[in-house]
Structure 1
Amino acid sequence: MKKPKVLAAYSGGLDSTLAARVMVELGFEVLAIQFTSPFLGRSYLKESPEDYIRAKEATIGCTLRLVDMAIPHIGIVRNPQYGYGSQVNPCIDCKVLFFSTLRRMMEEEGALAIVTGEVMGQRPMSQMPKSLRRIEKLAGLEGKIVRPLSQQLMPEVELETLGLLDREKLYAFKNRSRKPQMQLAKELGITEYASPAGGCFLTDPGMARRIRHLMESPFEEMDEATVRLSMIGRQLILDEARLAIGRNETECRYLPHLLREGDAFLRMEDERGAVAILRGKQSPANHELAARILARYSARSVERGSRVLMEYRGQTTMFPADPVEEQRLEGLLVV
């Protein structure tokens, strides 16, 4: 007999991992869907998408598919219909966007339901009973969303009506305590998972500050490339230009992947210091200041006598390592 198929909304965190794994253990064919966008985690800074998928599939016990949602996600962050949470997190809009996308995928895949790791009462904006029902209705998914961690507290869903799901085998977790989830993870042999609330940068005050600054920028478009650049490293605003500087080895390895036509790339001559991208107005004054700022954050390279190299439009320019004064940075740093 063919297993009934469901789609699992997956974030990489503990709750969504448990929800997908529980449905696998109950005998369902589960296809996990993880939406990606600049606001939804930086797992790939440390590993390739292929390695990430392989590791997660081993934990959840089913196929994982990554789906790029950057463009529509940026759109609702800029102009949410239902407003923001505590920072720049339009949780209701995000849920409706993602669930509407899952509804279309559910029809394409011949799946019977969508599974989520939502826990009743865990999040004030999107996981209260009224919000859960509202989101279901807005996404056209009434009766089709299964929440294994809290299903015993929820109204009956279609899978139960069809006799395919026994709620007594599901759970009644609620509110913000993590102990029940951690105990269930232990029972299922799950030992590695992301920290709670670690999946969305829009709720983080520091990241929210970056996004607000970009939304208010008079010289930048809030497109995918600039959003991604604004969310990594130190951010400084020069004369109609953005300078992003890697703060550690991981960021310095990743920054070159964000280069686009018209950018200037700066690094230390000895290749041991920080690296940076200058995007926007490419003037001699901005180039010189960017080089001095990079030298400021590459003290050991400067001590070794290393100079600053700038690559721009196929040409390489050398600058002396003359670290900018700290007071000059005031007013330039976003974060």
Structure 2
Amino acid sequence: MKTLPELETAIIADNHRLAPDEAHHLLKTADTDALRQSADRIRARFTGNRIDTCSIMNARSGRCSENCKWCAQSVHHQTKIDVYPLTDTAEALRHAQDNHDKGVGRFSLVTSGRTLTDREIEQCAAIYRTIAEQMPGFRNGHLCASMGLLTREQLQTLKEAGVGHYHCNIETAPSYFPQLCTTHTFDEKRRTLQWAREAGMRICSGGIIGMGETAEQRLEMAFALREIGADSIPINVLNPIPGTPLENTPPLSDDDILRTFALFRLIHPTAHIRFAGGRTLLRREVQEQALRGGANAAIVGDLLTTIGSGVAEDREMFRRCGFTE
């Protein structure tokens, strides 16, 4: 079996695609700092020093029919979140303009629920067209959508309205998904992502780590995402929400988190490895170690049902870690 330096050289020089047995060997044997340093060099070689930032708006909250064990928005769980219907144009524009003015690179509407109706999709498409008309920084593929298990036709409508990326997390390893959700399947997610790609959108898909899965299953998720062809991979660290079945889940160690980011980079040399939800639960030192250990993208600002981090504070951290915007 090749050593970590040998695998790094093969990835950089020969575009070697890390094999599952190689990744599992590194998981068991490689030093964490060495993994991070290798991942950082691979990141610099393939994606440079530019940080890719995005922000999300919770455009419809709560009353979700699905029973995902991690989610505060499910009707199956007793959580204390705000519940409201699909946003109107004025409110969406206000959020988009605020992020545009702060220099955030991408903007996404995110809706709770399994899917949207055709009428709701048309409403969202009108919002996206208005954003693109008024905010130059969000044109040319910098608008994103996360709206559940849509149809081919609905995805095409969003593409024609200016949406460049479609987001649908696979959430975890295929082998572990049925233990976390039974109201829809991993294959339904994969099918939606395939339809989004066929519509001409790039794919944003990742998951949540720390939901009781094993380290090997985190690698399984990474390879599933490579098979899907994810361009952007959000890695969320579980924020256990009171009232959900995972509220008492023990947190991952810093070492587990940093090894996950590094190994995802080795498996996905050219992708945006995006630091997403749960980032603010970690010490600033750990956040910076992840940014110097494979990550090259981040969600900034508030998230769906939890408070995020300040854009200005994040931008200063990115600069300290050697990134430009």
- Length-normalised TM-score, structure 1: 0.26
Higher RCO, Cα 8 Å, sep 6+? 2
Is the radius of gyration larger for structure 1 or structure 2? 1
